[in-house]
């Protein structure tokens, strides 16, 4: 049976087609690639921000008899304690692993690494032994990386890092080429996220 198109059917079809287009549906297929719609993204990724400060930016040791340093061996003498403090909105947090890298010129005396500036140091065999100030704290060397700990209950803040510097000649022995004189050392701390 053949259907007759009347004015009423044509009007209904056109109304349906216009309504479909207005609602985002087309009864007519579109050719692939005939329309494009760009979607742009913009995002700024930020690393955490943290300010660091040090309780003693300069440590001056008292004059010391070098034989006392030899007797103390690896542990060193006249230890000076200091702290590195961290402040800022996002020193730590999810996905952020804050660390501190120790950088400085060193010498090795036996099995001990000591910091010293060879150019400005008049002594031979002596330097500054740096270690974490805690039970079984690690002795630090050039390139040592220390993982930092968030404050309990405050995941975006870090606990202060406590360190100790002492004059040392490592595992030296008297009469092995040691020479008295000045000891100078410069240590830089680099804050980083890994």
Q: Whole domain around residue 70: which residue ranges?
A: 51-193
Query: What would the pLDDT profile of 176-188 be if each residue is shown by its tens digit?
Result: 788 999 999 999 9
Strand partners, 154: 151
In this predicted model, what pLDDT tens digit does every residue of 60-112 receive, in sequence order? 999 999 899 999 988 899 999 999 999 887 788 777 788 999 999 999 988 88
Between CA 71 and CA 10 the distance in angstroms is 109
pTM above 0.75, yes or no: no
Do residues 176 and 124 lie in contact, with contact meaning Cβ atoms separated by under 8 Å? no
Domain count, the chain: 1
Q: How many CB atoms lie within 10 A of CB 129?
A: 26
Note whether residue 42 is domain-resident. Answer: no
Tens digits of residue pLDDT in 14-54: 444 444 444 455 555 555 556 767 777 776 665 567 889 99
| Alpha-carbon span 128 to 183, nearest angstrom | 8
Let me know if residue 181 belongs to a domain.
yes
- Residue 149 maps to which CATH number? 2.60.40.1090
22 in a structural domain: no
């Amino acid at each position: 049976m053949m259907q007759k198109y009347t004015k009423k059917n044509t009007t209904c079809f056109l109304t349906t087609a216009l309504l479909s287009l207005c609602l985002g549906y087309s009864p007519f297929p579109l050719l692939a690639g005939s329309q494009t719609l760009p979607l742009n993204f913009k995002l700024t990724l930020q690393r955490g921000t943290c300010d660091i400060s040090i309780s003693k930016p300069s440590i001056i040791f008292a004059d010391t008899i070098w034989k006392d340093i030899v007797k103390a061996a690896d542990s060193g003498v006249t230890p000076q304690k200091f702290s590195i403090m961290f402040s800022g909105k996002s020193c730590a947090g999810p996905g952020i692993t804050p660390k501190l890298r120790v950088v400085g010129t060193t010498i090795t005396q036996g099995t001990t690494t000591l910091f010293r500036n060879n150019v400005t140091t008049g002594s031979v065999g002596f330097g500054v032994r740096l270690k974490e100030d805690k039970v079984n704290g690690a002795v630090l060397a050039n390139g040592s990386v220390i993982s930092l700990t968030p404050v309990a209950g405050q995941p975006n803040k870090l606990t202060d890092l406590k360190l100790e510097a002492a004059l040392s000649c490592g595992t030296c022995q008297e009469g092995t080429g040691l020479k008295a004189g000045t000891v100078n050392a410069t240590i830089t701390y680099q804050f980083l996220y890994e």
